[in-house]
Amino acid sequence: VYLNGEKVYTKTGWMTKFTFVEIDDAIRKNVKAGKNVLAIHCANTAGGAHLDAGLVTEPTEPAQIAKVLVANQTNVDMNATQTIYNFTCGNIDLALTFTSPLLLNDLNLLSRPVSYISYKVKSNDSKTHDVQVYFGASTDIAVNTMMQPVTTQKYTSNNVAILKAGTVEQPVLQKKSDDVRIDWGYMYVGVPQSYGSNQYVSSSTDALNNFLQQPVASNVKTGKHLVLNTIIPLGKVSSTPKEQFIMLGYDDLYAIQYFNQNLKAWWKLDPAKTIETELGAAAKDYTSILKRCTDFNQSMQKAAVAAGGENYAKLCVLGYRQSIAAHKLVKSPQGEILFLSKENFSGGFINTVDVTYPSAPLY
């Protein structure tokens, strides 16, 4: 792709959607008011057969958001069930921990579709500061394409404050072919009701603005590119750490199509269980679950280092996380336990050899 005779982009292969490419300053300076020349050369030997390109301007960042300072990341660590980031946010230190309790010795917990994001904050200047945590989750998580409208809901259940979103269409297990994403079921953001959090649904442009300006009034019910927003007040924070958490859940309704029969995930075998009861249980058992994860992380690390050294242990951690995340736990119509690999982007196929081979030693 050339702009006024200068190359701005080149690619081998093809894409299935528009990609935004920033133009270098030196080339951008030659763009003039009025007519400019955009030229494209393509050798179409395989793949896509549609060609398009254009010039767009990046929206100006709202002044309020432009004032927000960027946190300084000081460390990142990874283990079998967690990724832990450390940040300095002005006079506050933040430890941000993402936990998915993928414990193979507890099938009910393994199948529970709830992960945690934990915030541990403390003052780094020996003073006390007012601290709030803002978390925004895009409803694009629950769509195949960004043009699909979603519906949202705000409610409380099992002592958990909940935001819910999913497509209006809900085509359960209907997608196939490459470059597809799950667009059925519902995503959830939950926090313990005792936190006194402020939750609201907004457009993507209003999400952070509403938090910065306060009070929050936006509560969008349906639309596209919406954001599920949660503000947690941690109150006065000193050098003594304070920790709270957010839960992310996803109820896919039906998990696997097994020889033309739709099967529910393992955690849904008990008809008394709902996503709300699972969020409630996840909140209630937060401390004990994280301890179990820590114990397993340390045990696996110790065994892997003893078997092959530090680098081998790192590979074991990556393999464990990736391979388990690529599988769905269900029960067959004959009562068998099935742990099936499932593509979540390319075709949505199950038990393909490219996943089965590397995961075979584990399963």
Q: What pLDDT score does 361 carry?
A: 62
Residue 77 lies in a domain: yes
- Answer with the one of 237, 258, 287 that is the final residue of a domain: 287
Residue 25 lies in a domain: yes
Average pLDDT over residues 171-199: 92
Q: Identify whether residues 54 and 146 lie together within a single domain.
A: no
Q: Identify whether residues 192 and 52 lie together within a single domain.
A: no
Buried b (16+ CB within 10 A) or exposed e, 87-102: beeeebbbbbbebbbb
Q: Identify whether residues 68 and 196 lie together within a single domain.
A: yes
Q: Identify whether residues 54 and 67 lie together within a single domain.
A: no
Share above pLDDT 90 across residues of the chain, in percent, rounded to a whole number: 71
pLDDT digits (tens, 9 = 90+) for 61-101: 777 777 889 999 999 999 999 999 999 999 999 999 999 99
Q: What pLDDT score does 207 carry?
A: 86
The mean-pLDDT minimum among 2-16, 93-107, 267-281 falls in 2-16
Q: Identify whether residues 28 and 85 lie together within a single domain.
A: no
Q: What pLDDT score does 129 carry?
A: 98
- Answer with the one of 253, 270, 287 that is the final residue of a domain: 287
The mean-pLDDT minimum among 28-32, 156-160, 210-214 falls in 210-214
What tokens were used for 38?
Answer: 């955009």
Which of the four pLDDT bands, split at 50, 70 and 90, describes residue 211?
Answer: confident
Average pLDDT, the chain: 92
- Answer with the one of 58, 75, 105 that is the final residue of a domain: 58
The strand pairing partners of 90, in sequence order, are none
Amino acid at 63: A
Write out the residue range of the structural domain in which residue 54 sits: 1-58
Q: Give the angle subtended at the CA of 316 by the CAs of 311 and 318, to the nearest 5°.
A: 95
Say whether pLDDT at 19 is over 90: no
Q: What pLDDT score does 358 carry?
A: 66
pLDDT digits (tens, 9 = 90+) for 118-156: 999 999 999 999 999 999 999 999 999 989 999 999 999
Q: Identify whether residues 75 and 47 lie together within a single domain.
A: no
Residue 245 lies in a domain: yes
Q: What pLDDT score does 212 carry?
A: 84
Q: What pLDDT score does 46 carry?
A: 80
The mean-pLDDT minimum among 155-169, 171-185, 236-250 falls in 171-185
Q: What pLDDT score does 357 carry?
A: 73
Average pLDDT over residues 297-323: 93
Q: Identify whether residues 260 and 135 lie together within a single domain.
A: yes
The strand pairing partners of 221, in sequence order, are none
Say whether pLDDT at 217 is over 60: no
Which of 62-76, 212-226, 327-341, 346-360 ranks highest by mean pLDDT?
327-341
Residue 341 lies in a domain: no
- Please give the sequence-ordered ranges of beta strands (E in DSSP) within 238-317, or none if there are none: 242-251, 256-258, 261-263
Residue in this structure with the two tokens 């004959």, named with its chain if needed: 334
CATH number at residue 166: 2.70.98
Residue 110 lies in a domain: yes
The strand pairing partners of 245, in sequence order, are 118
Q: Identify whether residues 77 and 6 lie together within a single domain.
A: no
Residue 317 lies in a domain: no
Q: Identify whether residues 19 and 86 lie together within a single domain.
A: no
Q: Identify whether residues 105 and 46 lie together within a single domain.
A: no
Residue 190 lies in a domain: yes
Which of the four pLDDT bands, split at 50, 70 and 90, describes residue 220?
Answer: confident
**Rg of the chain in Å (alpha carbons):** 23
Average pLDDT over residues 257-269: 95
Q: Identify whether residues 110 and 241 lie together within a single domain.
A: yes
Residue 349 lies in a domain: no
Number of other residues whose CB lies within 10 A of the CB of residue 237? 19
Q: What pLDDT score does 206 carry?
A: 85
Which of the four pLDDT bands, split at 50, 70 and 90, describes residue 47?
Answer: confident
pTM value?
0.90
What is the sign, positive or negative, of the torsion defined by CA atoms of 350, 356, 358, 361?
A: positive
Q: Identify whether residues 94 and 205 lie together within a single domain.
A: yes
Looking at the structure of the chain, the number of domains it has is: 2
